[in-house]
Amino acid sequence: MLAWESVVQAKALRARGWTISAIARHLQINRRTVRRYLSDEVAVGVRRPAVPDGFEPFAGYARQRLVDDPHLWASALHDELVELGYGGSYPSLTRALRARKLRPHCEPCATVKGRDVGIITHPAGEETQFDWLELPDPPASWGWGKTAHLLVGSLAHSSRWRAVLAPAEDQPHLIEALDAVVRRLGGLTHQWRFDRMSTVCHPDSGRLTATFGPVAAHYAVAIAICPARRGNRKGVVEKANLTAAQRWWRTLPDELSPAQAQASLDRFCARVGDRRARRRADGSRATVAELAAAEGLRPVPTGPYPAVLTAEAKVSPQGLVPFRGNRYSVGPGHVGTIVTVAHRLGTATLDLVTARGVVLARHRRRPDSAGAVARHDEHVAALERAVLSAFTDRAPCRRKVRRPPSAAARAEADRLRAAAGGPGGGPAQQVVIDFARYAAAATDRQRPGTSPTATTTGTTTGTRS
């Protein structure tokens, strides 16, 4: 590659009539090089790659992914391309994206500016930061509605983080997720830090609630509440939230169950999160996993805090109640009823309870998303009896048929008429005028010598029936 000085001198000599051979001898370069630069076949200052571009076969896929999602992280795109066979490094990918200008421009995001933040020192084993992350549009097969919830916990010193999916953010689900996160992190720190979530403290005052205090005592940890409007105070977990949302949730396939998604997240944390490079206080390099191993975490209690986890579900026509990817049986006669599934954390059973507090069944809880059907023998037998007793081989009744009143129905009608026509028949009594009397009266009026009085009397006399 020639510098601009050589190219300018070559073009000046050529303009003075020098031959290409003379210019090549004067500049001590190859004649073919002089010819390419004089004919502008080669751009000045641009080095031709010595090897073929390994990104070119994947440029179309990268362009389409960035058109579909302009905010897709390059690291997440690199993960996808590696699975498709891309052998380049992450810096090579970002350089190729910039050179080809594959990422579309987003005008609303172009005006976002940063702000100054401080650096907080976190001693080893001192603090774990927790935060809820709301994940939009979970797979419809989960039955979680429009939002899934992810409790993220991060060790403030080493920045190791783990997270657990949950269908809700109420206190029982929070306690269940807390226990699962600290076990995935490998132990307990001296302090847990939360923002002002109502399941932990009173948002106005920051004081612990009476229901969460026993939870902190069970795990023997102190609770630190972030000051109001100081989200950066737990910046370690906030960064983990961003990574979880952009690099894992954004590309999660639709066909995974909640348990499979949780397993995918655990693998992602170990494969990507724990391999990040960090520096120790003395400046030496280490990975997140190495720093976390040296934190000296305390052991977790044998069992979780015994909170009662509840969820409502509808009984199916087969007498089954769905709960976390499994189905549990109740007796017959409850089809369509809304029951409460109650499970005390740390136990192996769950109860199916009616709205009035009646326990319909107790089952051994199966692993989440196992697709198991738990049925008691007595429920199976009772359901079979109910189904067989209601079974019939008769054809459905025809709707368009003639069915006049039977003899028994006519007899009952006659009884009603007789009761209505007797003394004290009540308001149903009706007087029926015999029109034959009117005809006879008209005939008598035409005969000579007929008494008008008799005629009048005859026309006003009626019969009752």
Let me know whether 278 and 313 are in one domain: no
Helix, strand, or coil (residue 2): coil
Q: Alpha-carbon Rg of the chain, whole angstroms?
A: 43
Number of domains in the chain: 5
| pLDDT, the chain, mean | 87
Let me know whether 137 and 223 are in one domain: yes
Which H/E stretch holds residue 149? strand 147-155
Instruction: With beta carbons less than 8 A apart as the criterion, state whether 365 and 350 touch.
Output: yes
Given a cut of 50, is residue 44 above it in pLDDT?
yes
pLDDT band at 400 (very low <50, low <70, confident <90, very high): confident
Which H/E stretch holds residue 146? none
Interval 1-12: pLDDT, tens: 678 888 888 888
Token pair 């009539």 in the structure block, residue: 17
Tokens of 377: 């023998």
Interval 68-115: pLDDT, tens: 999 999 999 999 999 999 999 999 999 999 999 999 887 666 654 555
Task: Specify the pLDDT at position 402.
Answer: 87
Interval 208-217: pLDDT, tens: 999 999 999 9
- Output the pTM of the full model: 0.69
Average pLDDT over every residue of 424-443: 64
Task: Specify the pLDDT at position 114.
Answer: 57
Given a cut of 50, is residue 457 above it in pLDDT?
no
Q: Which residues form the domain of 244?
A: 127-293
Q: Among 389, 416, 441, which residue terminates a domain?
A: 389
Let me know whether 222 and 163 are in one domain: yes
* Rounded Cα–Cα distance for residues 225 and 233 (Å): 10
* Rounded Cα–Cα distance for residues 180 and 177 (Å): 5
Backbone φ/ψ region at 187: left (φ over 0), alpha (ψ -120 to 50), beta: left
Let me know whether 77 and 147 are in one domain: no
Let me know whether 272 and 135 are in one domain: yes
Token pair 């000046």 in the structure block, residue: 12
Task: Specify the pLDDT at position 125.
Answer: 92
Given a cut of 50, is residue 175 above it in pLDDT?
yes
Flag whether 394 is in a domain: no
Which H/E stretch holds residue 8? helix 4-15
Residues β-bridged to residue 154? 129, 161
Instruction: With beta carbons less than 8 A apart as the criterion, state whether 339 and 313 touch.
Output: yes
Let me know whether 24 and 64 are in one domain: no
Average pLDDT over every residue of 305-321: 94
Let me know whether 229 and 183 are in one domain: yes
Interval 245-254: pLDDT, tens: 999 999 999 9
Looking at residue 222, which CATH number applies to its domain?
Answer: 3.30.420.10
Given a cut of 70, is residue 430 above it in pLDDT?
no
